[in-house]
Amino acid sequence: MATKIASKPISAAKAFTGKATVLKSKVAFTGKAFTVTTDTVTEPGGVTSTRDVIQHNGSVIILAVDASANPADPTILLERQYRHAAGRFLIELPAGRIEPGEAPLAAARRELIEETGFRAKRWSRLVRYYASPGFLAETMQVFLAEEIRPGIAQPEPDEKIELLQLPLSQVLAMIDKGEILDGKTILSVLKLERRRLAGNS
C-alpha cells in the first residue's frame, strides 16, 4: 500500500514572517575580502540572540560552455587551483567577488576575462543562492556564458590557475566520483544538466 503524504506542514509551529530587529552590531574583524560583525538581534518569533556574521559583497560564478563542436556534450571551462582553506587543489568554475557598486553581470564578464581570458557572446543568469546562510551573508549568482572565445588572461598576482576544458559528461562523472568537491561547481553543473534534460523531454 502506498504511503499517503501529509498535506499539512510537519511542524506545528507558527509560520513567522518579517526580519530580525538588530539591537546592537559591532565589527569584530575587517579583512581584505570581508568583515565579521557580532550582532545582537531579536529574530521573528521573539528569540533574542547573538550572531557572528561574515559580511560579504557577493560573488559571481561563470559556467562557460562551448557547444560548437558537440552540442550534445558541450565542453565546460574549469580551473584547477590550490585552496589553502581546503588544504588541496580543487577543480572549480571561474568565480570572483562583486566589487562595491558593480553590477553582477559586469562582475561576471570581468572575472571571466581576468581569470581565463575567455569572453562570451551570450549571457544569462542560472540561479542565485546563499552559500552558507547560518553565518555567511554572501549571495552567489551563477551566470551561463555561451559562444565563448579565448583571449589573454589577466589573473591577480596570487592566482595560479590551470585551465581545463572538459566535456559535460566527464564533469558529471567527476562529480559522481567525488573528484569535484567545490559546492558552487557541483550546484551549477547539475543545474545546467537539469535544464538540458528538461529541454530534451
Q: In angstroms, rounded to a whole number, what is the distance separating the alpha carbons of residues 169 and 72? A: 10
The pLDDT of 79-93, averaged and rounded, is 96
pLDDT tens by residue, 118-159 = 999 999 999 999 999 999 999 999 999 999 999 998 877 777
| Architecture, CATH, for domain 59-200 | Alpha-Beta Complex (3.90)
Q: Where are the domains of the chain?
A: 21-55, 59-200
CA–CA gap between residue 55 and residue 36 (Å, rounded): 6
Answer yes or no: are the C-beta atoms of 151 and 118 closer than 8 Å: yes
Q: How confident is the model at residue 36 (pLDDT cuts 50, 70, 90)?
A: very high
- Name the grid cell of 39: 550582532
Q: What is the mean pLDDT of the chain?
A: 92
Query: Which amino acid makes up residue 47?
Result: V
Mean pLDDT on 155-177: 92
Q: What is the pLDDT of residue 159?
A: 77
Select from 163, 126, 162 the least CA-distant residue to 145.
126
Span 2-32, pLDDT tens digits: 555 556 666 656 778 899 999 999 999 999 8
pLDDT score recorded for residue 74: 97
Q: CA 118, 120, 126, 131 torsion: positive or negative?
A: positive
Q: What angle do CA 109, 137, 97 make, to 5 degrees?
A: 20
